[in-house]
Amino acid sequence: MASVKEMRNRIAAVKSTQKITKAMQMVAAAKLRRAQNAAQDSRPYAQRMAAVIANLAAGVSGDGAPKLLVGTGSDQRHLVLVATSDRGLAGGFNSSIVRAARQRIDQLLSEGKDVKIITVGRKARDQLRRLHASRTVDSFEVGGNPSLAVAETVSARVRELFEAGEVDVVTLFFSQFKSVVTQTPTARQLIPAEVADGSAPLDLKGASYEYEPDEGAILNELLPRNITTQIFSAMLENQAGFFAAQMTAMDNATRNAGDMIANLTLQMNRARQAQITKELIEIISGAEAI
């Protein structure tokens, strides 16, 4: 059994850790509200853009349709875009996103597809390069806060690969923020463009619209912007989910530290009592010997 001094040192170390986890929990809780509002505020814009694209796409077909909308006609070459946070200490938040991406990658490889990977966030880069370093074509960091500049850079890289004929289908993986206790790993296809659930074409109420320029020209301008919007929205969703997961993880760590302190204190008291009892026995034994 450890000595009383060793037990005191261990208790002091756990208390220091508990102070850190409690502070991280409070910081995450303070940042969560702002990140949650940013994620929720981005949803109407992304959904409305999807609705406009759905309305315009209804009037475009055939060879004149933009490639970003209809694709290349093949699904042999896939690009998997994996977005996580740069930091850890958030339970299984980042791992759940990477796990969903890995499952899709393994499925595509088993079907004989060609797969390329772009990571957004250090945690995605670090976890995926263990098994798929040769398939990773680029990686980006989110930074302290998600920015539109990073989303535009990622979007430009995605479009560059598509326009060069290196990929046919692009799928984005991220974590959709549902609530403080629920963050759902989500896959969203960016190319060919898909209309998100609930983003039905605009109801024109019987009116007939003429576009200037035509639908194809508008889509050529709107579709690249939509890719940037979807990536930026995913980064904001990840930010809110990260702080929620970190707040929960640090709360659990603080509670576990409290339980450990209680157990160590009990063991220390037992060790101290045993030491006192041993000393008393030695004193009594010495007295009887005299």
- The whole-angstrom separation of Cα 80 and Cα 119 is 8
- The whole-angstrom separation of Cα 80 and Cα 84 is 13
Average the pLDDT over 42-58 and give the result: 79
Q: What was the pLDDT predicted at 115?
A: 92
Pick from 48-52, 120-124, 176-180, 221-225 the range whose average pLDDT is largest.
120-124
User: 133 in a domain, yes or no?
Assistant: yes
Summarize pLDDT for 130-188 with one digit per residue, the tens: 888 889 999 999 887 888 889 999 999 999 999 888 999 999 999 988 888 888 899 99
User: 141 in a domain, yes or no?
Assistant: yes
User: 79 in a domain, yes or no?
Assistant: yes
Among 117, 144, 105, 172, smallest CA distance to 242 is for 144
Sign, CA torsion 72/76/77/82:
positive
Give me the amino acid identity at 83: A
Question: What predicted TM-score, i.e. pTM, was given to this entire model?
Answer: 0.81
How many domains does the structure of the chain reveal?
A: 1
- The whole-angstrom separation of Cα 2 and Cα 265 is 12
Identify whether the C-beta of residue 222 lies closer than 8 Å to the C-beta of residue 52.
yes
3 state DSSP class of 80: strand
User: 136 in a domain, yes or no?
Assistant: yes
User: 155 in a domain, yes or no?
Assistant: yes
Identify whether the C-beta of residue 115 lies closer than 8 Å to the C-beta of residue 105.
yes
Question: DSSP labels for 110-165?
Answer: HTT-EEEEEEESHHHHHHHHHHHGGGEEEEE---SS--HHHHHHHHHHHHHHHHTT
Query: CATH code at 133?
Result: 3.40.1380.10
User: 273 in a domain, yes or no?
Assistant: no
Could you tell me the residue range of the domain that residue 57 belongs to?
Answer: 22-249
User: 276 in a domain, yes or no?
Assistant: no
User: 184 in a domain, yes or no?
Assistant: yes
Q: Is the pLDDT of residue 48 over 60?
A: yes
Determine the angle formed by the axes of helices 215-289 and 4-57, rounding to 10 degrees.
170
